[in-house]
Amino acid sequence: MSAGPLENGALWWRSAVIYQVYIRSFADGDGDGIGDISGLRLRLPYLAALGIDAVWITPWYPSPMKDGGYDVADLRAIEPLFGTVADAEAMIAEAHDLGLRILLDIVPNHFSDQHPWFREALAAAPGSPERARFIFRDGVGPDGSEPPNDWMSNFGGLAWTRVTEADGLPGQWYLHLFTPEQPDVDWTNAEVRAEFDQTMRFWFGLGVDGFRIDVAHGLAKADGLPDVGSTMWPPVTAEVVDHPHWDRDDVHEIYRSWRSLADTYDDPRVFVAEAWVHNPGRLAQYVRADELHTAFNFDFLLAPWDAETMRESIIDSLAAHEAVGAPATWVLSNHDTVREVSRYARPQDERRLRKLDDLTDLPADFALGRRRARAAALLMLALPGGAYVYQGEELGLAEVEDLPEDVLQDPGWEQSGRTERGRDGCRVPIPWSGPAPPFGFSPEGASAPPWLPQPLAWRELTVEAQTGDQQSMLELYRRALRIRRSQPELGDGRLTWLDVPDGTLAFGRGARFACIVNFSGDPVPLPGGAHVLLASGPLTDDGRVPRDTSVWLTT
């Protein structure tokens, strides 16, 4: 069943389910072991039939791949490994014909060090206009040999690298909040702003429906670049600190101008912010009426599987979003976080499990993790607003925790001095079909194996193996998405909390739809007259909802 022609509703994004394609790992069309646009084109019918509304594609621009493509060397072209601009145009047209909208990833905080602007900056003198597009500063100390401040890279080590000047001597330092190959650009520079405006117009002109904004909370830096004073950055806590480079109020003016650019198009062009901020109130500032349309709700992603914490997270998010008239955007995983099956397989205390190193020491029960992930999917898809599904989530894939060290590619691995294994475990290529790797990820006769090795156990989790198996995760997602489309109460709107015992949550959507989630309570009876539309797992013999299970009901 295809989604059908594009719905023209200007507000489609308020209810949308958007599927994240991590392009290197989704589908390989040309057999080099790396996902690409031709592979994605072949799989578009799968995505349309899944019942999603749009696809977000991670960076596909020319890149030395020091950070999986988030090191962009040319903002308005396609990485040859992935295809050509013509392939991209064809893919966008085909997606639109299938009723799918396309969002790209835009990376405004930094460029690749191979971007022509950075090469020009290195060749130019201190104080030149070429250097002013980035954040170059003199070092501290008599010979400038100490970095300009105490800022740390997100991947470990200093956020500053010293360059060699034309005279062959050590010179200025440049800022990179991520790898040294990702120099931060200076958003107070008018050329930078114009460059991104032109980039958005370029892709909008090719039919792209919106952008996911990478590190949306990082663009504004405090005047004078003062010390942080500590390297700690708790991504989501109630406490707001005046941080010199994360979530500064100055970012909002940039997004107001992006919104006015997007609004010059007749078909709505939309944004979703990747903003790691302290609390839902701070997040909601990004989605005020004249700013971005949506922002990922990472508070929900990180919440442990616990009724009270989840309820609080949902209530706070909905209230903060409602106050600015924006829909909430739910997300359970992405290419930066440990897959939810593996997070939920661990004991769920107040610890926030985000990185592999947060959980490898904890005991794991993967059957439990999978049961909770199924229940979480129904919870997420019943909540008011939009949702994201990360590729492989619909297959119930777990994090691959035991990748051999010699295949690890996440820059965090080397940059942490090989102490943090990084994010490769959620980026392993998708299993489509067949009994052995590459599981249909690459075509037959491929010249190279998948760029990260797939576990043999995935033969039971391929799309082919799960299709038609009514107990499978894939069929659960398919049914849930089909029901979501057919129930006007779902998607954008409000919820009503229903009374249930401790350890459980229940809410209604409209007069006829309800969702009950049992996290850790006794089995919950169904309300009288209710009819089960979908359940994430078996009910008890007497028809009650056991723990780690969600049901969708109608009256």
Contacts with ligand GLC, 342-381, as mask; x by CB under 6 A: ----------------------------------------
Question: Order of strands, edge to edge, in the sheet holding 170-175?
Answer: 136-137, 170-175, 160-164
b/e map 254-289, b = 16+ CB within 10 Å: bbeebbeebeeeeebbbbbbbbbbbbbbbbbbbbbe
Nearer to ligand GLC, 69 or 491 (CB): 69
CB 214 to ligand GLC: min, Å:
5
Question: Order of strands, edge to edge, in the sheet holding 531-535?
Answer: 496-497, 504-509, 513-518, 549-554, 531-535
CB 190 to ligand GLC: min, Å:
23
Nearer to ligand GLC, 292 or 545 (CB): 292
Q: Judge whether 45 and 459 are in contact, CB under 8 Å.
A: no
Please choose, from the candidates 524, 499, 498, 518, the residue with its C-alpha nearest in 3D space to the C-alpha of residue 510. Answer: 498
CB 67 to ligand GLC: min, Å:
5
Q: What angle do CA 290, 293, 299 make, to 5 degrees?
A: 120
Q: How many residues bind ligand GLC (CB under 6 A)?
A: 9
Cis peptide before 438 (omega within 30 of 0): yes
Nearer to ligand GLC, 67 or 79 (CB): 67
Nearer to ligand GLC, 215 or 251 (CB): 215
CB 168 to ligand GLC: min, Å:
32
Please choose, from the candidates 518, 523, 515, 519, the residue with its C-alpha nearest in 3D space to the C-alpha of residue 554. Answer: 515
Contacts with ligand GLC, 491-530, as mask; x by CB under 6 A: ----------------------------------------
Nearer to ligand GLC, 209 or 336 (CB): 336
Question: Whole-angstrom distance between the N-terminal and C-terminal Cα of the chain?
Answer: 27
DSSP letter assigned to residue 530: -
CB 295 to ligand GLC: min, Å:
13
Judged by CB under 6 A, does residue 121 bind ligand GLC?
Answer: no
CB 44 to ligand GLC: min, Å:
23
Nearer to ligand GLC, 23 or 473 (CB): 23
Nearer to ligand GLC, 195 or 464 (CB): 195
The residue type of 101 is R
- DSSP for 3-39, please give it: --SPP--TTGGGT-EEEEE-GGGT--SSSSSS--HHH
CA 475 to chain centre: 23
Nearer to ligand GLC, 12 or 82 (CB): 82
Spatial separation of the C-alpha atoms in residues 462 and 430, rounded to whole Å = 8
Restricting to residues 265-284, which ones interact with ligand GLC according to CB under 6 A?
A: 274
User: What is the H or E stretch that residue 359 is in?
Assistant: helix 356-359
Helix (H, G, I), strand (E, B) or coil at 386: strand
When CB distances to ligand GLC are compared, the closest residue is 70
Spatial separation of the C-alpha atoms in residues 100 and 40, rounded to whole Å = 13
Judged by CB under 6 A, does residue 214 bind ligand GLC?
Answer: yes
Q: What angle do CA 540, 546, 548 make, to 5 degrees?
A: 140
Judged by CB under 6 A, does residue 336 bind ligand GLC?
Answer: yes
CB atoms near residue 31 (< 10 Å): 17
Nearer to ligand GLC, 59 or 369 (CB): 59
Q: Which residues contact 212 (CB under 8 A, 6 or more apart)?
A: 56, 103, 104, 105, 106, 271, 272, 273, 274
CB 200 to ligand GLC: min, Å:
18
Nearer to ligand GLC, 336 or 393 (CB): 336
Sign, CA torsion 400/402/404/410: positive
Restricting to residues 89-108, which ones interact with ligand GLC according to CB under 6 A?
A: 107
CB 274 to ligand GLC: min, Å:
6
User: What is the H or E stretch that residue 44 is in?
Assistant: helix 37-50
Contacts with ligand GLC, 397-416, as mask; x by CB under 6 A: --------------------
CB 185 to ligand GLC: min, Å:
12
CB 194 to ligand GLC: min, Å:
21
Q: Residue 390 has which token pair?
A: 């990360």
Nearer to ligand GLC, 179 or 472 (CB): 179
Restricting to residues 428-487, which ones interact with ligand GLC according to CB under 6 A?
A: none
CB 177 to ligand GLC: min, Å:
8
Residue from the set 178, 196, 286, 519 that interacts with ligand GLC by CB under 6 A: 178
Nearer to ligand GLC, 106 or 535 (CB): 106
Please choose, from the candidates 354, 335, 377, 464, the residue with its C-alpha nearest in 3D space to the C-alpha of residue 58. Answer: 335
CB 413 to ligand GLC: min, Å:
12
Residues at the interface with ligand GLC (CB under 6 A): 67, 70, 107, 178, 214-215, 274, 335-336
